[in-house]
Amino acid sequence: MQLVIGNKNYSSWSLRPWLLMRQADIAFDEVLLRFDEGFAPDSAFKRALARHSPAGRVPVLIDKLDSDSGADTFAVWDTLAIAEYLAEKFPALRLWPEGARARARARSVCAEMHAGFSALRTHCPMNIEASLPEVGERLLREQPAVKADLERIVTLWSELLVEHGGPLLFGRFTIADAYFAPVCSRVRTYGLPVATHIAAYVDAVHALPAMQAWVKDALAEQDFVAFDEPYRTHR
């Protein structure tokens, strides 16, 4: 399989399936398409991405299935769809938690992350290399929606950590942790104040070998993409 992703420093959507596959030891080849200074249809990024997906967004999972007539290539281009595809393709890996109710809850929180928390995502874009605690302090003071998003996430995490005993949301690594990994990164970048048990969860996610590998690669990129940098003019 191949996984098409964007810049590791900035692409929160790309992080989710990459972390899931790497942490679960699912073999894949990485195809990294670096962001341009915009997403215009004629940009180099969009032209390269069009070869992999009609949706024009990363990530994209490309599964090349062997058949008697040759390679059958199948593309999946949404993070939830990729997660479900992998869970069905590798059932022995138990990518979702065990138990019907736990799986339903995990799908619920992933869907909430997928569709919600727009204020946090907009005002606190993922930027692994940066340290912006002063921005985080200002945003929590000036943007009530960001504060509300953070409070909802903390409540959600707290309930799951108490119910399943930690250190991860469902006790062990699942799709849900991959889905919230970009938020864990944002907590660190923007110095968002969280309780001790929530900070411990953030630390547990960052301690995952796959997360450490992603962060290492992100720090090595040395790219500065202006449209992903609302708070800095240079590194």
The CATH number for 100-218, chosen from 3.40.640.10, 3.20.20.140, 1.10.645.10, 1.20.1050.10, is 1.20.1050.10
> CA distances (Å), 177 to each of 18, 89, 160, in order?
12, 19, 11
Query: What pLDDT, on the 0 to 100 scale, is given for residue 6?
Result: 96
Taking the C-alpha atoms of residue 230 and residue 224, their distance in angstroms, rounded to an integer, is: 11
Residue 228 has a pLDDT of: 94
Calpha distance 127→132 (Å, rounded): 9
pLDDT value for 103: 98
Q: Which residues 6+ apart lie within 8 Å of 231 measured at CB?
A: 130, 132, 135
pLDDT in tens, 103-123: 999 999 999 999 999 999 999
- pTM of the predicted model, to two decimals? 0.95
Residue 187 contacts residue 133 (beta carbons within 8 Å): no
pLDDT band at 37 (very low <50, low <70, confident <90, very high): low
Could you give the percent of the chain with pLDDT greater than 90?
A: 85
CA distance 205 to 189: 14
| Alpha carbons 95 and 155: distance in angstroms, whole number | 23
- Tens-digit pLDDT profile for residues 194-225: 999 999 999 999 999 999 999 999 999 999 99
Residue 147 in this model has a pLDDT that exceeds 80 = yes
pLDDT at 39 over 80: no
Confidence grade of residue 66 (pLDDT, cut at 50, 70, 90): low
Provide CATH 3.40.30.10 ranges for the chain.
Answer: 2-94
Average pLDDT, the chain: 94
Give ranges for CATH 1.20.1050.10 in the chain: 100-218
CATH architecture, domain defined by 2-94: 3-Layer(aba) Sandwich (3.40)
